[in-house]
Amino acid sequence: MEQTFVMIKPDGVQRGLTGEIISRIERKGLRIVAMRMCQVTDETARRHYAEHVEKPFFNSLIEFITSSPAVPMIVEGAGAVSVMRTIAGATDPKESLVGTIRGDFGLDVGRNLIHSADSLESAKREIAIHFTEDEAVLYERAEERWVYE
Ligand code: IDP
Ligand code: MG
């Protein structure tokens, strides 16, 4: 089973979409194995978005991500990395397809509601930034034999 890193950003929490977003992940059949609500620290945000340090939007991105509580999580399932990117939608919500989280609820690239790791390697790196190993729980959902052949 593949694991990916997902985070409901502060706009998602402030807009009361936490439950809606979690529900979409659950209904897909994916398994949430770690989750918390927390205010991301400046240090964690800078590590998380290190690849964007030279971008013109870097400072505003860090300010936004640390401005209010977020909900980081580890999501597990077949093809979890790419499945979660599909559920999240394209980076700019103006272009994300309707039916995706960003496409259904967003309008601005700086307020795109959810983060989802872009590769298995990124997922591993990001999980290690936001969670300790003992925070992920090992379990099966009762419905899994109805989700997987
Ligand atoms: P991703 O979240 O879809 O992987 P990235 O290109 O990795 O997109 O960018 C990380 C985050 O930085 C985006 O989710 C978005 O919040 C923000 N961002 C990306 N491009 C821009 C921009 O042009 N202006 C403002 N914010 C941006
Ligand atoms: Mg990215």
Q: Give the C-alpha separation, 83 to 51, whole Å.
A: 22
Q: Give the C-alpha separation, 21 to 11, whole Å.
A: 12
What is the mean predicted confidence (pLDDT) over 20-26?
98
Residue 144, in any domain of the structure: no
* Residue 108: per-residue pLDDT: 98
Ligand 1 neighbours by CB, cut-off 6 Å: 52, 57, 61, 91, 109-110, 112, 115, 118
Among 57, 58, 81, 115, residue to substitute to test ligand 1 (most atoms within 8 Å of Cβ): 57
CATH value at residue 31: 3.30.70.141
* Residue 85: per-residue pLDDT: 98
Residue 69, in any domain of the structure: yes
Strand order in the sheet with 2-8: 31-35, 71-77, 2-8, 114-116
CA of 143 to the centre of ligand 1 (A): 35
Angular region, 77: left φ>0, alpha ψ -120 to 50, beta rest: left
Tens of pLDDT, residue by residue over 41-54, are: 999 999 999 999 99
Tens of pLDDT, residue by residue over 55-109, are: 999 999 999 999 999 999 999 999 999 999 999 999 999 999 999 999 999 999 9
Q: Name the residue range of residue 114's domain.
A: 2-139
CA of 133 to the centre of ligand 2 (A): 23
Q: Give the C-alpha separation, 94 to 107, whole Å.
A: 5
Residue 88, in any domain of the structure: yes
Residue 92, in any domain of the structure: yes
Give me the number of domains the chain comprises.
1
Residue 149, in any domain of the structure: no
Consecutive H or E run containing 4: strand 2-8
Residue 145, in any domain of the structure: no
Residue 134, in any domain of the structure: yes
In the beta sheet, which residues pair with residue 100? Answer: 98
Which-ligand-closest: CA of 90?
A: 1
Across all residues in the chain, what is the average pLDDT?
Answer: 98
The predicted model scores a pTM of 0.98
